Amino acid sequence: GLNATKDLDYTVKNSDIFFVCVPTPDKNGKIDLGIIETAIKELSILCENKNEYFLVVIKSTIIPMTAEKIIIPLIEKYSLKKAGHNFGVCFNPEFLRDRYAYEDFMNHDRIVIGEYDKKSGDMLSEIYKGFSCPIYRVSIKEAEMQKYVHNLFNACKISFFNEMREVCSKIGLSADKIFPL
């Protein structure tokens, strides 16, 4: 079952899957991994005494290679456990629009599971078995890259439409009529 609490120690003792959902963009929109590194470190320290296999699922936006180069080494260092043996890792990006985040979460058009190994992906897939959308299982690096490309493509679209709105304004056209919401 799902449980909400602010007590990380309780959570570690009573869970085997941990979703890490913390902000990664800084105030200028650049990636800042400081918060996620702190969260991973705190979680991993508490997992040192955990005897059961556990799964860490990263939901936060990260750049390609972050799981391999930063997340997994941090978990191994602070939990004193080995990836693939004592714990698994998945990157499970979200594709949510700001205005429609709840609706998008409840009605996924796809679920991407970037898995460290098959066991990790199998554990996370169990959580999503009730969803009717396609589930894509890929490597962690492929999932990180997919999310990065998705975000960059959306930024390009926004920039393009902002430029076209400016052109409309300069020639006296109503951008709202050209680009209805």
Q: For residue range 72-130, list pLDDT tens digits in order.
A: 999 999 999 999 999 999 999 987 666 766 676 666 788 999 999 999 999 999 999 98
Look at residue 170 and tell me whether its pLDDT is greater than 70: yes
Pairing of strands 87-91, 54-58: parallel
Q: In the chain, at which residue ranges do the beta strands (DSSP E only) sit?
A: 17-20, 54-58, 87-91, 111-115, 135-139
CB 43 within 8 A of CB 20: yes
The whole-number pLDDT of residue 97 equals 64
For the chain, helix, strand, coil in percent to 5 are: 50, 15, 35
Structure tokens at 162: 């902002």
Half-sphere exposure of 45 (CA within 13 A, CB side): 7
